[in-house]
């Protein structure tokens, strides 16, 4: 994720100011900042993000042709509702990827965080801890659990300088085991209605989870574009050393990103709980593959420093439409996973062509 070239301290601010969001700072051998790629490549990257819009429209038309009920209001709402939890995790992963790191453990946070809150609320007879805390405490515990997991990952990656991929992969396995152990492999039922409210409550007949996810993406997009910390995130993902030389507190920003990602994933877990109506011992399993597929085809770079929330959101919607079309066509689930894998490979090849450089 790092660049071999490093800008001098007196040149780094200029390098960061001269590049727009999504462009990584790069320096010449003389230390002078230069823009990465030509204007042609920049246009290609923008076209890659916007290309998902006509592709999405094409899929909607194709779905309507293949199935009469595809464009029915009930089915469209179902697509949006089923994609809300995924959208929150994609948002979380996108922020981490923009900073130049990975977090594979987010799929396990989707399961362990809401399960922890539910176990604090449920009585022993319903497989709970028996503490029977108020509902508000249980919901707060969900967010705290996500934040603590993110903070732990952040400390290992940012402070101890451990490999983010290996650390978060290990955490994914640890958290998955904790979820199975805490629930004794059982599915948790009987949670208070508040655990399902985001998915079951509606506004204009659309679930509140969809509105919440849309607002979260909008806020994140504005934050990344206009706030100094958001712009610093792109700088860190593009060249952490140059960002540090420019006075950006790299470690603090990156640690905060891991914490926020954990909280967002825990909210996604609550949405998933409400959509399913229970918490299974394997909630969130294999979700990370779909998350990466949505982020990558949406233009979030695995090299860090590039990508927009609009692109990530269109990636989520496109995968939601694809999954719904395949489900209506009664395609087995294992084929859906294979198709997602193919989508990731195709997106990586497109990214290689549009950026014009090798991927680390």
pLDDT score of 340: 76
What the block records as the tokens of 65 is: 């042709």
Distance between CA atoms of 306 and 49, rounded to whole angstroms?
11
Eight-class DSSP state of 325: H
pLDDT score of 13: 40
pLDDT score of 15: 39
pLDDT score of 169: 96
Local confidence pLDDT in tens for the 360 residues of the chain: 443 444 443 444 433 443 444 444 443 333 334 444 456 555 655 655 666 788 888 889 988 888 888 999 999 999 999 999 999 999 999 999 999 999 999 999 999 999 999 999 999 988 889 899 999 999 999 999 999 999 999 999 999 999 999 999 999 999 999 999 999 999 999 899 999 999 999 999 999 999 999 999 999 999 999 999 999 999 999 999 999 999 999 999 999 999 999 999 999 999 999 999 999 999 999 899 889 989 988 889 888 888 899 999 999 999 999 889 988 888 887 787 788 778 778 777 766 665 555 555
**What Å distances lie between residue 358 and 6, 25, 123, 241, CA to CA?**
19, 17, 55, 21
Helix, strand, or coil here: 207?
strand
Global pTM?
0.85
Dihedral of the alpha carbons of 233, 351, 173, 261, in degrees to the nearest 10: 30
Parallel, antiparallel or unpaired: strands 26-27 and 33-34: antiparallel
pLDDT score of 23: 43
**What Å distances lie between residue 343 and 60, 228, 250, 316, 360, CA to CA?**
18, 34, 33, 12, 19
Q: Which long-range contacts (CB under 8 A, 24 or more apart) does 207-211 make?
A: 207/77, 207/80, 207/81, 207/84, 209/81, 209/84, 209/85, 209/271, 209/274, 209/275, 210/80, 210/81, 210/83, 210/84
Distance between CA atoms of 279 and 110, rounded to whole angstroms?
10
Distance between CA atoms of 1 and 193, rounded to whole angstroms?
44
Q: At what angle do helices 208-226 and 250-276 cross, to 10 degrees?
A: 170
């Amino acid at each position: 994720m790092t660049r071999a070239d490093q800008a001098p301290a007196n040149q780094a601010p200029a390098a960061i100011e001269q590049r727009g969001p999504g462009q990584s700072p790069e320096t010449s051998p003389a230390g002078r900042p230069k823009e990465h790629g030509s204007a042609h490549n920049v246009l290609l990257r923008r076209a890659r993000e916007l290309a998902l819009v006509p592709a999405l429209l094409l899929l909607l038309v194709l779905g309507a042709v293949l199935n009469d009920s595809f464009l029915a209001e009930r089915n469209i709402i179902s697509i949006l509702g089923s994609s809300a939890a995924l959208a929150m995790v994609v948002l979380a992963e996108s922020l981490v990827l923009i900073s130049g790191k990975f977090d594979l453990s987010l799929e396990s946070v989707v399961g362990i965080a809401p399960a922890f809150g539910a176990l604090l609320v449920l009585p022993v007879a319903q497989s709970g801890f028996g503490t029977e805390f108020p509902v508000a405490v249980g919901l707060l515990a969900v967010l705290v659990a996500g934040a603590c997991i993110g903070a732990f990952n952040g400390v290992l990656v940012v402070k101890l300088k451990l490999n983010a991929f290996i650390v978060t992969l290990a955490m994914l396995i640890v958290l998955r085991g904790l979820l199975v152990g805490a629930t004794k492999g059982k599915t948790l039922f009987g949670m208070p209605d508040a655990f399902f409210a985001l998915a079951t409550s509606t506004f204009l007949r659309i679930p509140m989870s969809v509105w919440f996810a849309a607002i979260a993406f909008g806020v994140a997009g504005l934050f990344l574009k206009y706030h100094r910390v958001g712009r610093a995130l792109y700088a860190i993902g593009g060249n952490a050393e140059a960002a540090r030389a420019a006075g950006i507190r790299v470690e603090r920003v990156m640690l905060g990103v891991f914490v926020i990602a954990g909280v967002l994933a825990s909210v996604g877990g609550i949405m998933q709980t409400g959509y399913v109506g229970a918490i299974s011992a394997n909630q969130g399993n294999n979700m990370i593959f779909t998350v990466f597929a949505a982020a990558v085809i949406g233009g979030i770079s695995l090299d860090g420093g590039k990508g927009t929330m609009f692109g990530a959101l269109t990636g989520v919607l496109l995968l939601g439409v694809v999954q719904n079309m395949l489900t209506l066509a009664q395609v087995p689930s294992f084929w859906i996973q294979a198709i997602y894998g193919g989508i990731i490979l195709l997106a990586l090849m497109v990214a290689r062509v549009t950026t014009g450089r090798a991927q680390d």
